[in-house]
Chain A
Amino acid sequence: MSVQTPISGLPTPSGTPGAPKLLEVRDIVTRFTTDRGSLTAVNGVSLSLERGRTLGVVGESGSGKSVLSRSIMGLLPRSNTERSGQVIFEGKEISGLNDSEYRELWGDEMAMIFQDPMTALNPVMKVGLQITESLRFHLNMSKSDAKDTAVALLKAVKIPEPEKRFSSYPHEMSGGMRQRVVIAVALACGPKLLFADEPTTALDVTVQAQILDLLAEQQRERYMGIILVTHDLGVVAGRADEIAVMYAGQIVEQAPTALLFSEMKMPYTEALMAAIPKLTDASHTRLAAIGGRPPDLVNPPKGCAFSPRCPYVQPRCHEESPTLTPSPTAPEHLFACFYPIGSPETEEVRLRIAAQRLMATAPEFVAAPAKTPTPAEQSPVPAPPEQTEGM
């Protein structure tokens, strides 16, 4: 792009003398005015990203992932929305831009891939035109150049017969193919930053992997920074360099991927881990693994936002809210929890709770053999002698 303008009054991002980071987000807060009152969808999120790297943002439905991406990109509607915090893109503060200044960035410098390819493409426009229009607008390409580029893009995202597909309508393609088109649209002008908001949630498991591989390949080729949003820790496991776990609009744990998986600290991350869909599950199955419901963002609970659902909750959790702080052992590992997993002083709590839970459920198993099952009731697979082990 053009010459970078240094932002006055801001310290240069540490560790990167000269070249500023691709993206630096500081303390973003996004509130919506609703009938019930002010809804805090994003509550003080900070993060940063370099080119060529992937940040995974993980959290359940309603945790504010989409609102966060849209806040960073400036895509939220202006009415009923209140946003604060800084978004520094290539060293330039962009959160105060007006729509016409944003248009220079949208599609050109930063792009977004949407969750549902069935609804993300205009149903009454040929896919070719949906790709060429941004080429013509941002890069001032001629009609024929834009067409050639679009066909090349369709080819790059591995759509068979790209020339023919250029003049197809979205409804003539499968979900996976449409998502490839959505990716082609996003990649068209060569963005430096790509937001992928649940790019595979609506797709079959096998197609999911193909799409994620495609994204990774394009990232290498184009040296893009990617923010990969998902509710499925499994999706980001092998793909993200770093993972931020979101709950109720806040980042509650953040670490390089390997570290997060080996030493997760937050009970919420642990619950998400248990919710990773197995390959054997039918696709699109909704995850029910985390008990309880996400908190009301208009009236959030006092103390730790996860406390009403946390299996390890302690009295202190209801009074104070933990802040995101670096782990004493690894400063790149941040988490917000008073009683993190693995800390010696809480292991006892953890064991006691586990024992209590086991005892609470045990009577069922004790009672079961008393009733002799009729042959019809017997499962074809012989039950293991100690059923409690399965817990």
Chain B
Amino acid sequence: MFILKKFGQLIVTVILVTLFASLLLELLPGDPTEVLIPSGSDQQREDLRQELKLDQSFAVRYSTWLGNFATGDMGNYYTVSSDRPVSDRLWQSLPVSLLLMFYAQMLALFFAIPFGVLTAYRKGTWFDRTSNTAAFAMLAIPNFALGFLLQYYLGVKLGWFKTGGYASPSESPIEHFQYMILPTITLAVGQIAIYMRLLRSDMIATLQQDFILMAKAKGLKSKRILFRHALRPSSLTLLTVAGLNIGTLIGGALIVEVVFALPGMGLMLFEAIGRRQIVAFQSMVAVIAILYILVNFAVDLLYTVLDPRIRNANKS
């Protein structure tokens, strides 16, 4: 029942998102084939127009794409020399983006959790105030600006990390790390601030609870009280926002990938728009929407791990 509901939600979302995205592309003026194969002959263009059903209505084009997509055909990526299936490129770029977002999320939580917990515990002290000021500063820096700054200082001037390009972890783990570290930091910085502030306010509320005083009256160490007793009940909002934030993260990843020339979904999407790859664009947007929903589904499942009371509510 739960699964069925989620599945229905998934289909509706994918349709709405792709419909909206392709309508936007539809608004661009001019003949897409001029951009797709700028040096192609009139005959080649006519063939492409036929294939893309450009002479037919938007509804027909959209439903054809949808039908193909549902059967696993994501269409072609058109270039002058040869047409490649979109799925090929997708399978190359998707892991890059997923890894980037995963690393960024982990890095953000790695800093946000201890800082959120400790600033709540030390509420009002200079440590709390300094951390909050730092968080606001981090929030205020736009992704791309931070990306350029890191690229320039740590990459170009100091030469510690690579400033653009990619190597997969199976090829060379060290190079992978060198390529990914700056994009990860760039993407994580804003999230650290958001997560830390959220956790801090929820922790402050939890620390007022009777069961925390009871844990203290048991003689437990502060570390155990904070991390074993208070953290879990305080992390539900954090989890929700982390799930919802996937949207922001995808947007951020797009920009960061462009800045660091990381061949992920963002860069590919960026290219697809520029080159009027309507079909590829629709397919990628659909994949991203599906991912987004799957992540939120995972978040729902995580809730029940974090809070046993929700587990029971779901059962009944």
Within 238-275 of A, Cβ neighbours of B (below 8 Å) are at none
Given contacts A114-B210, A114-B213, contact A124 B220 (CB under 8 A): no
A123 and B211 form a contact (CB under 8 A): yes
B308 near A120 with CB under 8 A, answer no
Measured CA separation A114–B221 after assembly (Å) = 20
Give how many A-B residue pairs fall within 8 Å (CB-CB).
77
Interface check A122, CB cutoff 8 A = yes
Is B82 engaged at the interface, CB distance under 8 Å to the other chain? no
Contact B210 A124 (CB under 8 A): no
In the complex, which of the residues B124, B214, B216, B306 contacts A121, with contact meaning CB atoms closer than 8 Å?
Answer: B214
Assess whether A332 is interfacial by the CB under 8 Å rule: no
A312 interfacial contact with B, CB 8 Å: no
Whether, in the assembled complex, A276 has its beta carbon less than 8 Å from a beta carbon of chain B, the answer is no
B157 at the interface (CB under 8 A from A): no
By the criterion CB–CB under 8 Å, are B211 and A121 in contact?
yes
Q: List residues of B (269-316) whose CB comes within 8 Å of A's CBs.
A: 306-309, 312
Which residues of the other chain, A, contact B213 by a CB distance below 8 angstroms?
75, 114
Q: Is the pair A119, B210 in contact by a Cβ cutoff of 8 Å?
A: yes
Give A112's nearest chain B residue, CB to CB. B217
The answer to whether B219 touches A108 (Cβ under 8 A) is yes
Task: Decide yes or no whether B218 CB sits under 8 A from chain A.
Answer: yes
A124 to B307, CA, bound (A): 6
Q: Is A134 positioned at the interface, with any CB of B under 8 Å from its CB?
A: yes
B229 at the interface (CB under 8 A from A): yes
Interface centre among B210, B214, B312 (most CB of A within 10 A): B214
Query: For the complex, what is the distance from the CA of A279 to the CA of B90, rounded to whole Å?
Result: 74
Which residue of chain B lies nearest to A102 when distances are taken between CB atoms in the complex? Answer: B219
Q: In whole angstroms, what is the CA distance A185 to B219 when docked?
A: 12
A 79-115 contacts with B by CB, 8 A: 79, 99, 102-108, 111-112, 114-115
Q: Which residues of B contact A123 (CB under 8 A)?
A: 211, 233, 307-309
Contact of B214 among A99, A120, A124 (CB under 8 A): A120
Name A137's contact: one of B214, B219, B308 (CB within 8 Å). Answer: B219
Residue interface mask B1-42, A partner, CB < 8 A = 1 = 000000000000000000000000000000000000000000
B139: interface (CB < 8 Å): no
Tell me the bound Cα distance from A210 to B219 in angstroms.
28
Q: Pick from B211, B213, B228 the residue with the most CB of A within 10 Å.
A: B211
Return chain A residues, CB-CB under 8 Å to B216.
75, 106
Are B219 and A134 in contact (CB-based, < 8 A)? yes
Q: Count B interface residues, CB 8 Å.
A: 24
Interface check B215, CB cutoff 8 A: yes
Answer whether residue A226 sits at the interface, using C-beta atoms and an 8 A cutoff.
no
- How many whole Å from A214's CB to the nearest CB in chain B? 18
Within 8 Å by CB of A172, from B217, B233, B312, lies B312
**For residue B236, which residue of chain A has the nearest CB?**
A124
CB distance from A135 to the nearest CB of B (A): 10
User: Residue A119 contacts which of B124, B211, B229 (CB distance < 8 angstroms)?
Assistant: B211
Q: Given A125-B229, A169-B309, are A134 and B218 neighbors across the interface (CB < 8 Å)? A: yes
A120 in contact with B221 (CB, 8 Å): no
User: Closest CB-CB distance, B125 to chain A, in whole Å?
Assistant: 9
Contact A124 B218 (CB under 8 A): no
Q: Nearest residue in B to A110 (C-beta to C-beta)?
A: B217
A116 contacts chain B at the CB level, 8 A cutoff: yes
**Cβ-based interface call for A171 (8 A):** yes
Query: Which of A103, A105, A138 has the largest count of B CB atoms less than 10 A from its CB?
Result: A103
CB proximity to B under 8 Å, residues A124-139: 124-125, 133-134, 137-138
Set of chain B residues within 8 Å of A73, measured between Cβ atoms: 217
Q: B209 in the interface, Cβ–Cβ < 8 Å? A: yes
Report how far A391 CA is from B61 CA in the complex, Å. Answer: 89
Given contacts A105-B219, A138-B219, contact A185 B210 (CB under 8 A): no
Complex interface residues of chain A between 265 and 308 (CB less than 8 A to chain B): none
State whether the Cβ of A334 lies closer than 8 Å to any Cβ in chain B.
no
A182 at interface by CB-CB < 8 Å: yes
Which chain B positions have C-beta within 8 A of A114?
A: 210, 213-214
When the two chains form the complex, which single residue of B124, B217, B229, B308 contacts A169, counting CB atoms closer than 8 Å? B308
How far is B215's CA from A107's CA once the two chains are assembled, in angstroms? 9
B209 touches A171 (CB 8 A): no
The contact of B218 among A119, A125, A133, A169, by CB within 8 Å, is A133
Contact with A along B165-200 (1 / 0, CB 8 A): 000000000000000000000000000000000000
Q: Does B232 contact A (CB under 8 A)?
A: yes
A106 to chain B, nearest CB (A): 4
* B:109-133 near A, CB below 8 Å: 124
Q: Give the residues in chain B near A169, CB-CB below 8 Å.
A: 308-309
Chain A proximity of B315: nearest CB distance (Å): 12
How far does the Cβ of A375 sit from chain B's closest Cβ, in whole Å?
51
- How distant is the Cα of A106 from the Cα of B213 in the complex, in angstroms? 11
Instruction: State whether A119 and B312 are in contact (beta carbons under 8 Å apart), knowing that A106-B217, A134-B219, A137-B220 are contacts in the complex.
Output: no
Q: 14 interchain pairs (CB within 8 A)?
A: A73-B217, A75-B213, A75-B216, A102-B219, A106-B217, A108-B219, A112-B214, A114-B214, A119-B211, A121-B211, A122-B214, A122-B215, A137-B221, A171-B309
User: Beyond A104-B219, A114-B214: 18 further Cβ-contacts under 8 Å?
Assistant: A75-B213, A102-B219, A106-B216, A106-B218, A111-B217, A112-B214, A112-B217, A114-B213, A116-B210, A119-B210, A121-B211, A122-B229, A123-B233, A125-B229, A134-B219, A171-B312, A185-B214, A185-B218
Chain A residues at the B interface, C-beta cutoff of 8 Å: 73, 75, 79, 99, 102-108, 111-112, 114-116, 119-125, 133-134, 137-138, 169, 171-172, 182, 185
What are the 7 closest A-B residue pairs judged by CB atoms, nearest first?
A106-B219, A107-B219, A107-B218, A119-B210, A134-B218, A103-B219, A112-B217
